[in-house]
Structure 1
Amino acid sequence: MLASMKTSPADISMPPPVPRVSAVPVYLSRTYHWAYLNRHTLPWLDRSLVVSAILWGNAGRLMRAAVTEFSPGQRLLQAACVYGPFSRMLAERVGGDGVLEVVDVAPIQVANARRKLVGLPQAQVRQGDLAAPGCVAAEAYEAVCCFFLLHEVPPVERACIVDNLLAAVQPGGKIVFVDYHRTHAWHPLRPIMAQVFRWLEPYAPSLLATDIVSLSARADGFTWKKTTCFGGLYQKLVGLRRG
């Protein structure tokens, strides 16, 4: 859930009703229905002030750090919808000569992202389970972006998503993960975030204990660079596929 930039009244309008489908994973329905599947709470969580507060004022910084990794004209895959202006920022980054494809498992999120990307013909949004085989084609993208998704999925699905996303990168292409990271021991927010994860983000602790690179054997085919910010609470992991 991320954003930073002022939101116009249109940005918080109620999204159209979308029927539930069996493709929505059980863990998502049970754990995050309030955040991602409820059409009454969705427009409020998609507000910039809310998204910025969730990331302790770092939303814009983190979005820009991810967006600048990509180039005009690229075919870019965004793994899951993101609250706030992030998808629009990516679409504007690749420009009219590029393509942004957003894939999300929840129909209501697909509808909401399509609404926010109106007027950007280079942007496409479709429903799909990124943990499932064949959801994204092998070596179909020059670039892939996974922004604050991995902490919201269980370990087994997380490993499948990482493996599928790595497989989707063309030789010479790039993948970027931005997500939570284990804070420095002295971080004043460390105990607060522990409670946040306990009550709202139950799968996040398993991510903090894991190196994303270790989740797929395909990672050996990439050159990796990781940076952290805000006392280690957030990480950006960039992989360049060799070959």
Structure 2
Amino acid sequence: MAAPATPAIPTIPEYLSKVYTWAYLTPAYSRFLDTSLVVSSILWGNANRLMRAGFSEFKPGQEVLQPACVYGCFSSKLAEVLGPEGKLHVTDVAPNQIDACRTKLAGFPTATMNLADAADPRDRSYDGVCCFFLLHEVPEDYKHRIVKSLLDATRPGGKTVFVDYHGPNRWHPLRPLMIQVWRLLEPYALALSDHDIITYAPPDLAQDFVWRKETYFGGLYQKVVATRKPQGA
């Protein structure tokens, strides 16, 4: 019997090395950013609220995919929600991010981590997918590929949950500042002010899901939940 093929190690996407080397591929900066205090500051004190919003869509015992590593305590808190009978599968394209996440999840034996590009097709399906602040960091073509990949990986009755930036209300006092931050540091984030996440899904695939959207903190953040319809529905 032939040995199973070893999964190919994904290459670092050009956009990541071009725009985010300082944030995700440089260990010294990563260690500084990878704290709950920094994450809370970046999200204007809304980190815990947004994590709770995402986690509320899952329950103990489920098998959930986290398609990119997240700074702070996100992964360990999600693993706690899923409990000892649940399974958390974390993937990322950067080896140093996987190594850091492995350390955080050392106390959760059912959690697994491996290298994978969020835009590539999955070879398995999940009860849920939790995509936390990933889409704003990728170019438009990647947004389309990632949304399709994550929806495809969701079982009937399961949920794909996106928590990310959103276009803040026009009266929002932070709107001018955030627009400048996005232009300087997060050049792919502005698109989420103009496009609903559902528009990144292929229309025929989007019809297989029931979509729900909520916004937070004056519209600066959003949660989009896509629940896959039962087979035959």
CA displacement 1:173-198 (0-9 Å, x = unmatched): 11110000011110000000011001
Residues 159 and 225 in structure 2, CA contact (< 8 A), matched pair in contact too: yes
Cα distance in structure 2, aligned partners of 1:145 and 1:77: 6
| Structure 2, gaps ≥5 residues long | 1-8
Task: Report the counterpart of residue 152 of structure 1 in structure 2.
Answer: 137
What are the equivalent positions in structure 2 for 1:56-95 lying under 5 Å apart?
Answer: 56-95=44-83
1:144 CA displacement: 0.5
1:155 CA displacement: 0.3
CA displacement 1:62-82 (0-9 Å, x = unmatched): 011111210000010011000
CA displacement 1:18-75 (0-9 Å, x = unmatched): xxx7611111011000000001111110122211110001011101111121000001
What are the equivalent positions in structure 2 for 1:117-156 lying under 5 Å apart?
Answer: 117-132=105-120, 134=121, 136-138=122-124, 140-156=125-141
Cα distance in structure 2, aligned partners of 1:200 and 1:188: 19
Q: Secondary structure at the match of 1:83?
A: coil
Residues 144 and 201 in structure 2, CA contact (< 8 A), matched pair in contact too: yes
Identical residues among aligned pairs (%): 55
Residues 222 and 239 in structure 1, CA contact (< 8 A), matched pair in contact too: yes
Q: Which of residues 207, 212, 233 is equivalent to 1:220? A: 207
Q: Which of residues 126, 140, 150 is equivalent to 1:165? A: 150
Residues 95 and 122 in structure 1, CA contact (< 8 A), matched pair in contact too: no
Task: Report the counterpart of residue 52 of structure 1 in structure 2.
Answer: 40
Cα distance in structure 2, aligned partners of 1:207 and 1:231: 15
What TM-score does the superposition give when structure 2 sets the normalisation length? 0.92
For the pair 1:41 / 2:29, whether they are aligned, the reply is: yes
Task: Report the counterpart of residue 12 of structure 1 in structure 2.
Answer: none
Task: Report the counterpart of residue 6 of structure 2 in structure 1.
Answer: none
RMSD: 1.1
1:163 CA displacement: 0.2
Number of aligned residue pairs = 220
CA displacement 1:121-175 (0-9 Å, x = unmatched): 111111001112x3x225x101011000000000001100000000000011111
